[in-house]
Structure 1
Amino acid sequence: MDDLTGITVIEAAGAGLQPFVREHAREIGEETAASGAVLIRGARAGGEEDFQGALTALGFEPLEYTERSTPRTEVGDGVFTSTEYPARQVIPQHCESSYADAWPGRLAFFCVTPADSGGATPVTDVAQVLEDIPADVIDAVETRGLRYVRNYGNGVGLDWRDAFQAASREQVDRFCAAGGLEREWLDDDCLRTVRRAPALAVHPRTGRRIWFNHLVLFHQSSLPAGTREALVDMLGEDRLPNDVLFGDGTPVPDDLVAAVRSAFERRSRRFDWRRDDLLVLDNMRWSHGREAFTGERRILVSMTGLISRSPAAR
C-alpha cells in the first residue's frame, strides 16, 4: 500500500520525461527545497538516456561514487545501478554516504523496471526520526560519537580497489589522508579503515538537527542472526566488512540500535515503483532503503551537490 505522506507528487500525464522536466525544472527545484522529496510520476521515458537528460535539466552535476559501501555498476556518466544485493535482502534506512567525510546533497532515483512484487524504496524524514528516538539514546550517541570500522579484501564485501576506485595502495593512501580517514594495511592485501564521526548533523538550509549516520545499516544487529554469528566466527569481531562502535571503540548495544530502528519503522513512507517514476531526494532530509523483491527490478541512481563535513573533504 502506498504512503506518500510528506512527498510531493508531480503528475506528468503521459508527457515525455526529458521535455517535462525541462519545462518544470524550476517547480521541481522549489518543491525539492520545500519538502525534500519529489516524485515525478506518469511520464514516458526510453530508459537510461532519458534519465540522463532529465538529470541535466535538473542541474545535476553527477558525482563519482568513491569510498563505496555497496556493489554498483556505472551505466552512464554518474549514473549507477542501485545496490546490487540479492533480491531477498532488505537494505535498512540510511542517508547516502553519511559515514563519510563528504556526501551528496541530492539523489535521483529512476525506475526502469519495477519489481513483480516488493522492491519499494522506503524513505524516512530523518528530522522526524530524531524526534522519535529516546532521549537517552540520543544523549549516548551525541556524547560519545560513532566509530566506523570497515574491512576490505577478505573475500566478504568489497575489495579496496572497487570501494575506492583505485588501482594502487598509494591512491588509497592519498584519498584517506585528504578525507581524515584512518587506514591500516593488513595481511593478504586487506585494508582496514576507521572513521570517527558525529551521529547528528544540522541541515545546511533548514537549520534543523537531523539523525545522520550509518548506525542502523552498519551495525552487526542488522545482519540476520545466523549470518552475523557465521561472519564473526569466520572473520573475527574486528574483520567484519562493516561495523559501527561508539567513538571510544566500545560496542553499541543491540537494544540501542533496536530503538533507532523502531523510530525509522514508525516514520517510514513507501510506495510501489511504476515504470519511469523519477524520485528526487534531499539526502540530508530523507533516508532511503530497499525492500526485498521478486522479478527483474532495475532502479538507477545519480548523486549531486557534494557537502563536506570538513574543509579537507574532497
Structure 2
Amino acid sequence: MTTAPLADRAWTPREITADEAGGRGLADHLGDLGADGLTELLTEHKALVFRGFGVTPESVEPVLDRLLPNRLPYVHGNSPRTRVKGNLYTSTEYPQRFTISMHNELNYARRWPARLAFYCETAAESGGATPVVDGALWLASLDAEVREAFAGGIRYVQNLHDGYGLGKSWQDTFETDDRAEVERFLAESEAEWEWGPDGIRVSQLRQAVTTHPVTGAEVWFNQADQWHPAGLGDETAKELYDILPPEEFPQYVTFADGTPIPDAYVTQIRDRGLELAVDVDWRVGDVLLIDNVLTAHGRRPFEGSRRILVAMSD
C-alpha cells in the first residue's frame, strides 16, 4: 500500500498476510476468526487487506460467503458495472484514464450496504489502485465554512431515461422494467419521483454526514462531489452545461433547499478526500474488505487490463 504525502495522516488499513494466518487458506482463516471476530476486527481497523492467500476466481465464492453472508444486489446504483454471478459485480466500468473520487457506496440511497468486499482477478499493468479514506478524517479536513454549509443536508436529483439518453436507464438502475416495483422501492426510500415521456425524475433529500452505529464516529457521508458537474473536471462540466441545463443532467445535487452548491466547495471536498486517501495497490488474489460507513473508496487511473470484482452486504 502507498499513501499520499500528508504529514498528519493517522490511519491506514490493516493488512493480513497468509504467513500471519499460518499458511491456511483465506476461507479457513476467516472461519477461525468467526463472524463476530471479523466484525470486531473490521470495526477497529475500518478496512482490511488480505494478501498472499492465493485466492482464485474458482475459490473466491467461499471467501465472500465468510466476508459477506448476505450479498445484496446493486439496485439504485448509479455507476456502470456488470453482474458477474449472483450478486457479484465488476467494479465501476468508468474510463480507465479517469480518477474516481472518494465515496461511500450507495450513500445517496435510503439504505446502503454496511460492507464492501473487492477481489483482484487481474491487476493493471500500472496504476489502478483503490484509494480508501477514513471518513472521520475527511470530515475533519474540510473547512468549517463547508461543513456548516452542508449541515442542512443535500438534495440528489436523477433524470433516468427510458433506454435512450445520457447515463443509465431507469431499468438498469433499478434492475427491473416494472414501474410499479420501482415506485414501491422509491416509496420505501422516502424519495420523490415523477414519470415523464422519456423516463423518470427522482429527488432525494439526504444528510451530508452520518454516525457509525457501533463506534459513534461522525463521518463525511455524501456524494456531492460526484453528482456535481464541478467534481467531474472543467472540460466535462462545460460539455454538460453546453448540452443541458443543470436540472436536466442525468444526476445533479443541490443544498436541501434547492440552492446551488458552489463549485469551490465541491472541488475542496473531492481534492481533500483524495489527498487523505491510502492507496491499496492491487496484486492478483488480493481481497479488500471495508466498512462502508467508516471508510470511503475510489479508483486511480490505470493502463492495461484490470478486473476487480465487488460485492456488498448489509
| TM-score above 0.5, yes or no | yes
Give the AA of the match of 1:149: V
What residue is the counterpart of 1:182 in the other structure?
A: 192
Give the distance between the partners of 2:66 and 2:307, measured in 1 at CA.
22
Q: Cα 1:51–1:135, aligned 2, differ >3 Å: closer, same or farther?
A: same
Give the AA of the match of 2:155: R
Give the distance between the partners of 2:60 and 2:265, measured in 1 at CA.
40
C-alpha contact (below 8 Å) 2:101/2:273 kept by paired residues:
no
Give the distance between the partners of 2:247 and 2:52, measured in 1 at CA.
48
Answering whether residue 309 of structure 2 is matched by residue 297 of structure 1, we say no
Give the distance between the partners of 1:205 and 1:24, measured in 2 at CA.
19
Q: Cα 1:276–1:196, aligned 2, differ >3 Å: closer, same or farther?
A: same
Instruction: Choose from 46, 49, 65 the match for 1:39.
Output: 49
Answering whether residue 223 of structure 2 is matched by residue 217 of structure 1, we say no
Deviation track 1:17-39 (CA, whole Å, cap 9, x = no partner) reads 33333334455433212111100
Could you state the TM-score of these two structures normalised by the residue count of structure 1?
0.91
Give the distance between the partners of 1:227 and 1:6, measured in 2 at CA.
32
Answering whether residue 151 of structure 2 is matched by residue 162 of structure 1, we say no
C-alpha contact (below 8 Å) 2:102/2:297 kept by paired residues:
yes
Give the distance between the partners of 2:24 and 2:96, measured in 1 at CA.
32
Deviation track 1:227-280 (CA, whole Å, cap 9, x = no partner) reads 222222223221111111011111100111122223213311113100110111
Give the distance between the partners of 1:215 and 1:12, measured in 2 at CA.
39
Instruction: Choose from 12, 22, 36 the match for 1:6.
Output: 12
Give the distance between the partners of 1:269 and 1:12, measured in 2 at CA.
22
What residue is the counterpart of 1:149 in the other structure?
A: 157
Instruction: Choose from 204, 227, 231 the match for 1:195.
Output: 204
Could you state the TM-score of these two structures normalised by the residue count of structure 2?
0.91
Q: Please, which runs of 5 or more residues in structure 2 have no aligned partner?
A: 5-10
What residue is the counterpart of 1:259 in the other structure?
A: 268
Give the distance between the partners of 1:38 and 1:179, measured in 2 at CA.
30
C-alpha contact (below 8 Å) 1:8/1:35 kept by paired residues:
yes
1:142 is paired with a residue of what secondary structure? Answer: coil
What residue is the counterpart of 1:90 in the other structure?
A: 99
Instruction: Choose from 182, 192, 196 the match for 1:172.
Output: 182
1:163 is paired with a residue of what secondary structure? Answer: helix
Give the AA of the match of 1:160: W
Deviation track 1:61-98 (CA, whole Å, cap 9, x = no partner) reads 10111111111111122111101111112211000011
C-alpha contact (below 8 Å) 1:22/1:58 kept by paired residues:
no
What residue is the counterpart of 2:7 in the other structure?
A: none
Identity of aligned residues (%): 38
